Amino acid sequence: MADPIHQFELKTIATVGHIGNMPLVLTQSSVYMIGAVIAITLFVLLGTSGRRLVPSRLQSMVELSYEFVAGTVRSSAGTEGMKFFPLVFSLFMFILLLNLVGMVPYSFTVTSHIIITFALAAIVILTVIIYGFMAHGTHFLGLFVPSGVPAWLLPLMVAIEVISFVSRPISLSVRLFANMLAGHIALKIFAGFVPALLAAGVWGLLAPLPLALTIALTALEMLVAVLQAYVFATLTSIYLNDALHPGH
């Protein structure tokens, strides 16, 4: 049967240079990411170049994605949070496009590698920390002191709040990575049952069952791909809201 993990293997396309003993390699993952950035840039630039009062198809797609992300930011971080709109919009479009491209057969899913999702989550958390300290100074640390807690419980609560804060980039990255990895492995395994059953003589009569399941899983994975990009954008806005308003 087909190896379900094989699809996540990185393949070297070109070696760009060396840092010490480590080769600096252009993999198919990097190519997909560069392609995604170019595609999103073209999409937005071409869509907004017309600036018609009655939008063309492309323009209304760009306007829809703008309005969707802007609504997410406004509802989670308020109008003040719109200063972070470029960050949230870039993250949303990048993750959404890479998730959807991963659904194309034989393509590579960049977001199924935890180092990619962790890097994205690290950008978010570093923005929160740096902006929080720049805007509020040490007052930002009030984020870790919950209000209305008895004094003898406070040291424990502060420790838990700090760990909870550290766990945010981990949960943000693990959620996206685990969803994409698990979905693609499940898809591969059930699709692999079809040829395996067909090759086993009479058992081939059962082959339509995993085929139907594969179709259903594909639909589910499309939903997950969009939903995870949305969840990432929403949680980013919620965390940025903490940077804007530390003490609750």
Partner 1 sequence: MVENPKPENQGKAPQAPGDAELSARLQHLEQRLGEVRDAKSEIRIPHQTARADNSGLAKAFRLSAEFVSGPVAGGLIGWGVDTLLHSKPWGLIVFLMLGFLAGIYNVMRASGFMKKSDAN
Q: Which of 237, 238, 226, 244 is nearest to 98 (CA)?
A: 226
Least spacing, CB of residue 75 vs partner 1, in Å: 5
Pick the closer one to partner 1 by CB: 55 or 242: 242
**Closest approach of partner 1 to the CB of residue 58, in Å:** 23
Question: Residue 50 in 3-state DSSP?
Answer: coil
- Single-letter code of the amino acid located at 50: G
When the beta carbons of 61 and 174 are compared against partner 1, the nearer one is: 174
Nearest to 4 by CA among 150, 162, 184, 172: 184
Q: How far is the CB of 30 from partner 1 (least distance, A)?
A: 26
| Burial degree of 30 (CB within 10 A; 0-12, 13-18, 19+) | middle
β-strand partners of 23? 18
Cβ distance to partner 1 smaller for residue 136 or 175: 175
CB 28 within 8 A of CB 10: yes
Q: Which is nearer to partner 1, 58 or 178 (CB)?
A: 178
Q: Sign of the C-alpha dihedral, residues 84, 89, 90, 91? A: positive
d(CA 242, CA 24): 37
* Residues making contact with partner 1 (CB under 8 A): 71-72, 74-75, 146, 148, 156, 159-161, 163-164, 166-168, 170-171, 174-175, 178-179, 223-224, 227, 230-231, 234, 238, 242, 248
Smallest separation, CB 175 to partner 1 (Å):
4
The distance of closest approach from Cβ of residue 67 to partner 1 in the complex, given in angstroms and rounded to an integer, is 8
Closer to partner 1 at the Cβ: 11 or 248? Answer: 248
